Each structure stands twice: as C-alpha cells, then as structure tokens.
C-alpha cells in the first residue's frame, strides 16, 4: 500500500467524524483497540478489561443518544433558539396613533416581564432587556419562552407613569402599551 493511499484512508476516516458523538466514539474505539492489543501481547492486562470498556462505551453512546439526540448530527443541523425582538407602541388614553418612543422615559430596572404557561401558571419573571433604538423601544424575549406561553409586561417611567402591555403570544412582533390611568399621580 502506498503512502498516498494510507494518508487518504485516514483523511476519509477523520473527515467522516462530523459530530461530537462521532469524535467521542472514534477516540474511545482507538483507545480500546490499543488496550485490546496490549492485553493480547502481554499478560499484564486481562482480556476482560478492554472488552468491558467496549461494553461501557456502547452503553455510554446509547445514554448520550437518549439524553442529547442532537449529538448525532453535525453542528450546522443543531437547533438554535432564536430570540424574538418585540417592538413597543405606546398609546396614551387609547389614542389611535402611538406617541413617539423618545417621549417615553422608561426606568428599565423597575420594569417587569411575566411569562405564564398554558395553565396560566407563572413560569418566570426575568428583567426585560429593554432598549431604545432607531425603531423605538424594543425588548428581547427570553430563550425559554415557547409558543404556548403568554407574556405580560409592566413598564414604569422615571416620572412614575405606568404602562401596561396586555398578555400577548410570544410570536407577536409589535405590542401595544397602554397608559395605566389608575396609577397616575396628577
């Protein structure tokens, strides 16, 4: 066998390992082959040891496949959670046209985001990541939000005005914030 054929054979083997599980399995099989060869050539290593390690490897692969099935696929096929950005439209006293976002001075630390599941049980209350940009006030939904959740947002300005966003599904991209007239101190 020529050197070119040996090199291309190793390149094919290494090139076929495209997943973390495949890499783990290849390294484990190489180590097991070395131990098996050592037990055959010497009497210092009992034969049952590399065979039991191989059995343990098979069990580990099945456990990994059960717990993390995405480990069977290359990283480009892995699911990635996309964080949804939601734009806030501020409507004081039910006016048709929203007011300019620059006129709303939110106290970002005091604002609350409430995520509820299908049974209306509170799942989490993370601090909303509110930002004021060219498109107005936006916030990013947490990664753990699923399609069946409902989101509620309570916004507080530095001048103590309170805005409320009624429950909305996580796939909404524009939500309406209404001025809470009950809590206005005039």
Residue 44 parent element (H or E): none
Confidence of residue 4 (pLDDT cuts 50, 70, 90): low
Checking 167-174 for CB contacts under 8 A at 24+ apart, the result is 167/116, 170/84, 170/141, 170/145, 170/146, 171/84, 171/147, 172/86, 173/84, 173/85, 173/86, 173/87, 174/86, 174/87, 174/89
pLDDT tens track for 118-127: 888 887 777 7
pLDDT at 185: 45
In whole angstroms, give the CA distance from residue 155 to residue 178: 10
Are the C-beta atoms of 111 and 130 separated by less than 8 Å?
Answer: yes
Are the C-beta atoms of 144 and 124 separated by less than 8 Å?
Answer: yes
pLDDT at 49: 80
Catalogue all structural domains in the chain, each as residue range(s) with its CATH number. 3-77 (no CATH), 85-183 (2.60.40)
pLDDT at 6: 65
pLDDT tens track for 6-49: 666 667 666 667 777 777 778 877 888 888 888 888 877 788 88
In whole angstroms, give the CA distance from residue 155 to residue 133: 17
pLDDT tens track for 81-114: 566 778 888 877 766 677 788 888 888 888 888 8
pLDDT at 171: 79
pLDDT at 184: 45
pLDDT tens track for 67-80: 888 777 777 777 66
Exposure pattern of 136-169 as b/e (b: 16+ CB <10 Å)?
Answer: bbbbebbeebeeebbbbbbbbbeeebbbebeeee
Query: Is residue 58 pLDDT above 60, yes or no?
Result: yes
Report the percentage of the chain scoring pLDDT > 90: 0
Query: Is residue 186 pLDDT above 60, yes or no?
Result: no
Query: Mean pLDDT for the chain?
Result: 78
168, 167, 164: which is closest to 177 by C-alpha? 164
pLDDT at 181: 67
- Please give the full DSSP string across 99-119, using - where no structure is assigned: BPGGG--B-TTT-EEEEE-TT
């Amino acid at each position: 066998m020529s050197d070119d054929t040996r090199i291309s054979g190793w390149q094919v083997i290494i090139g076929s390992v495209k997943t973390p599980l495949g890499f783990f399995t290849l390294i484990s099989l190489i180590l097991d082959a070395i131990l098996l060869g050592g037990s055959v050539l010497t009497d210092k290593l009992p034969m049952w040891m590399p065979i039991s390690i191989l059995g343990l490897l098979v069990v580990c692969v099945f456990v990994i496949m059960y717990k993390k099935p995405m480990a069977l696929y290359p990283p480009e096929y892995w699911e990635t959670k996309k964080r949804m950005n939601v734009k806030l439209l501020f409507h004081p006293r039910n006016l048709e046209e929203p007011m300019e976002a620059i006129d709303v001075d939110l106290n970002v630390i005091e604002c609350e985001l409430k995520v509820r599941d299908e049974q209306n049980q509170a799942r989490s209350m993370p601090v909303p990541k509110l930002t004021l940009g060219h498109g107005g006030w936006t916030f990013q939904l947490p990664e753990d939000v699923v399609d069946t959740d409902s989101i509620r947002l309570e916004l507080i300005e530095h001048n103590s005005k309170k805005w409320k966003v009624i429950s909305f599904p996580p796939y909404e991209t524009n939500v309406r914030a209404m001025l809470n007239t009950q809590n206005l101190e005039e």
